[in-house]
Amino acid sequence: MPADSTVTDERVREETLLARLMKRPELGAIAGLILVTIFFLFTANASMFTLSGIMNFLTPAAQLGILAIGASLLMIGGEFDLSIGSMVAFAGMIFGALVVNLGLPLIVAIPGTLIFAGMMGVVNGQLVIRTGLPSFIVTLAFLFILRGLSLVGLKYLTGGSTQLRGVRDAVGDDWLAPFFSGDAFTGLFAKLAEWGWIDTFKSGAPKVPGVPVEILWFIGIALFATWILLRTPAGNWIFAAGGDKNAASNSGVPVNRVKTTLFIVTACCAALVAIMTVIDAGSTDARRGFQKEFEAIIAAVIGGSLLTGGYGSAIGAFFGSIIFGMVVIGLTYTSIDQDWFQVFLGGMLLLAVIFNNVIRKRVTGER
Amino acid sequence: MEIETAFHHGAVADDAKPILEMRGIKKHFGNVIALAGVSFDIRPGECHCLLGDNGAGKSTFIKTMSGVHKPTEGEILFEDKPMNFSSPRDAMEAGIATVFQDLAMIPLMSVTRNFFMGREPTKGAGPFKRFDVARANEVCVEEMRNMGINLRGPDQAVGTLSGGERQTVAIARAVYFGAKVLILDEPTSALGVRQTSNVLATIDKVRKQGVGVVFISHNVRHAMAVGDRFTVLNRGKTLGTATRGEITPNELQDLMAGGQEMAQLEGSLGGTI
Ligand SMILES: Nc1ncnc2c1ncn2[C@@H]1O[C@H](COP(=O)(O)OP(=O)(O)O)[C@@H](O)[C@H]1O
Ligand SMILES: [Mg+2]
């Protein structure tokens, strides 16, 4: 740095594009995605990168990604939620009960499920704020409480089974169902098939009937979360609350409100995933969302979110989730034993944390 | 080190109504009695200095003014109305801005984001209301330039700034938002000579605009340079308020030290403190 700190306007141009990029939290995830893509281009069967192959790995990526984006917002805000996996099961049970046992239409059942989940988010948030305990511990308790409640509740609802069936019959012709299950743009895909732009079966029907709706939700939520983070006052409050809650509060940021809202958002993301996967599967069970909290946090960390809060990116979590989906599904297109997946996962996490640490030091000018 | 002492004083009429009045403020932290009944007021257009040694309770006291702490006992009147700030946000909305001793800055965030933290300018309406980043950047760079600091860019992280630069950002921010009362808790502790006189000049400037300034320092020279009134805190109690001209720097120094030792010490060190 030049010694004289008053003649500085020309320093603006000194920072190269590369240096600026190096400061973006999502850089690691994008680089990782490129590496993983190259890896599979060389090792995987070519069908992985056909349209149907891509939809194949984007679908699980989207389901995880919706959780991961919620988790990343919460992490940037300085808290964790380890209960989101169990929340998927819990919300799935609530949703199942509303549509199957109470026979409610989706227009009531979906908001009802989201409200239930949101209330659990409030409980998590208020407990963390009022006790001052680490959210890690409080939500770890809810990881077990919600999983247990899902088991007990499902047995109660079904008279002994841990699986609640009949969701498909209950919502089959509901006008809202297409927004939460199945494929979108089927008309367009049929036309594309007709023109020969995409692969078709012998019958002339497209091999890929449309874009699974969860992928659209995933993209929409990623864009919306990114807009909130970077372009609204609320986004500034999230970064501030996670960066230093005292400094933020002293500067006028309503820290408790921000954190509670983030817990609600995270819980609602879990509920949304529950609703979509339950409608798709036609049933819900107590194992739904098992260990998803870890996967979501890992995807958020790969996406550049710091475990200590105050830094990260929703679009990073988006790419982190795609990496995830690509690896889980991609390994089935290779001759590699799929059980390498967990090894790979741990390795990615470690690399990402080390990388994020370097980036943080660079941003804050620590040496 | 020589500090400019030629600021204009005496514009405040003695009988001007206080904007903010604190009566018998007590603050206990468990067993610790941080404030044992402090009264203080601030009038528009004056600089009221709050002096005292480390641990005297200065920071605790101004935190009750800026909504961080609720006083255990005592009354706060803002423009003659009883006030009960439940958060710093409330105090800010009333027009009270504070430079906290720890600056309340977030190292990972950019200068602009720190500058407007909690009070972001927006554009658009309804669901499209958004953070006006372009204007925020513009204002931030401009305000920082007024304080004599040229930023490398508005997106530079605060963590990369020097201590003095951070302090300057915090001061510029408070000056920008301090519509009625500006509280500065030891704002010059990390500043060099030139930036210190810059800050003192800024205090003088905002005072002339009718803002009441509360200036905390334990440097008597800095206080004397801009202060209109001086209140000394010692172990959570006020030792009284003096008006400019009624008190000499040495007397203030002695009051701060809580007795005569300082005069003796100063004598033996040849007046260098
Ligand atoms: N949050 C707190 N909890 C407990 N004690 C505190 C707290 N804040 C300040 N104190 C105590 O109050 C006294 C006054 O502190 P402070 O107001 O920071 O002094 P000053 O700013 O004059 O140096 C000190 O003894 C300090 O330890
Ligand atoms: Mg202090």
> What's the pLDDT score for residue A365?
67
Average pLDDT over residues A96-115: 96
Rounded to the nearest angstrom, the distance between the alpha carbon of B34 and the centre of ligand 1 is 6
> What's the pLDDT score for residue A165?
92
> What's the pLDDT score for residue B266?
52
**Could you identify the residue written with the tokens 């006291």?**
B61
**What pTM does this model have?**
0.91
Q: Which are the contacts of B256, defined by CB distance < 8 A and separation ≥ 6?
A: B51, B52, B53, B218, B220, B232, B234, B262
Task: Determine what percent of chain A is predicted with pLDDT higher than 90.
Answer: 72
Six token digits for residue A183 = 């494929």
Rounded to the nearest angstrom, the distance between the alpha carbon of A168 and the centre of ligand 1 is 63
| B131 with A235: Cβ contact below 8 A | yes
| B150 with A360: Cβ contact below 8 A | no
> What's the pLDDT score for residue B261?
54
Q: What does the alpha-carbon distance between residue A51 and residue A189 come to, in Å, rounded to a whole number? A: 11
| Interface membership of B84 toward A (CB under 8 Å) | no
Kindly state if the Cβ of B31 falls inside 6 Å of ligand 1. Answer: no
Task: Inform me whether the pLDDT recorded for A197 exceeds 60.
Answer: yes
Chain A neighbors of B66, CB-CB under 8 A: 250
Rounded to the nearest angstrom, the distance between the alpha carbon of A274 and the centre of ligand 1 is 49
CA B208 to chain CA centroid, nearest Å? 16
| B104 with A247: Cβ contact below 8 A | yes
Q: Which of B177, B108, B104, B107 is nearest to B140 (CA)?
A: B177
**C-alpha distance from residue B148 to each of B58, B171, B192, B222, B223 (Å):** 28, 12, 12, 19, 22
| Interface membership of B163 toward A (CB under 8 Å) | no
Kindly state if the Cβ of B217 falls inside 6 Å of ligand 1. Answer: no
| Interface membership of B103 toward A (CB under 8 Å) | yes
> What's the pLDDT score for residue A49?
93
Which of B65, B70, B109 is the mutation pick for testing A, counting most A CBs within 10 A?
B109
- Could you say which residues from 202 to 261 on chain B have a Cβ atom under 8 Å away from some Cβ of chain A? none
Task: Inform me whether the pLDDT recorded for A11 exceeds 60.
Answer: no
Chain A neighbors of B118, CB-CB under 8 A: 237, 240, 248, 251-253
Average pLDDT over residues A201-217: 89
> What's the pLDDT score for residue B1?
44
| A5 with B150: Cβ contact below 8 A | yes
> What's the pLDDT score for residue B248?
86
This complex has an ipTM of 0.87
Composition of chain A by helix, strand, coil, percent to 5: 70, 5, 25
| A252 with B92: Cβ contact below 8 A | yes
DSSP string covering A355-366: HHHHHHHHHHT-
Kindly state if the Cβ of B60 falls inside 6 Å of ligand 1. Answer: yes
Rounded to the nearest angstrom, the distance between the alpha carbon of A236 and the centre of ligand 1 is 30
> What's the pLDDT score for residue A366?
60
Q: Which are the contacts of B197, defined by CB distance < 8 A and separation ≥ 6?
A: B3, B4
Kindly state if the Cβ of B67 falls inside 6 Å of ligand 1. Answer: no
Average pLDDT over residues A170-184: 90
Work out the minimum CA distance from A257 to partner chain B, whole angstroms.
Answer: 12
Residue whose CA lies nearest to ligand 1 atom number 21: B59
**Does A265 or B13 have the greater pLDDT score?**
A265
**Does B188 or A329 have the greater pLDDT score?**
A329
Residue whose CA lies nearest to ligand 1 atom number 8: B60
Work out the minimum CA distance from A301 to partner chain B, whole angstroms.
Answer: 17
> What's the pLDDT score for residue A26?
87
Using the 8-state DSSP alphabet, how is residue A98 labeled?
Answer: I
Query: What number of C-beta contacts closer than 8 Å exist between A and B?
Result: 107
Q: Out of A128-137, A316-325, B175-184, which region has the weakest mean confidence (pLDDT)? A: B175-184
- Using 70 as the pLDDT threshold, list the residues of chain B that sit under it: 1-15, 258-273
> What's the pLDDT score for residue A264?
98
Residue whose CA lies nearest to ligand 1 atom number 3: B29
Q: Where are the beta strands (DSSP E) in B116-249?
A: 122-123, 130-131, 181-185, 212-217, 229-234, 237-243
Kindly state if the Cβ of B59 falls inside 6 Å of ligand 1. Answer: yes
Residue whose CA lies nearest to ligand 1 atom number 11: B34
Q: What does the alpha-carbon distance between residue B138 and residue B135 come to, in Å, rounded to a whole number? A: 5
Q: Which atom of ligand 1 is nearest to the CA of B69?
A: 1
Work out the minimum CA distance from A311 to partner chain B, whole angstroms.
Answer: 7
Q: What does the alpha-carbon distance between residue B255 and residue A347 come to, in Å, rounded to a whole number? A: 63
Q: What does the alpha-carbon distance between residue A4 and residue B56 come to, in Å, rounded to a whole number? A: 38
Work out the minimum CA distance from A324 to partner chain B, whole angstroms.
Answer: 28
b vs e for A123-157, b when ≥16 Cβ sit within 10 Å of the residue's Cβ? bbbebbbeeeeebeebbbebbebbbebbbebbeeb
Average pLDDT over residues A165-194: 90
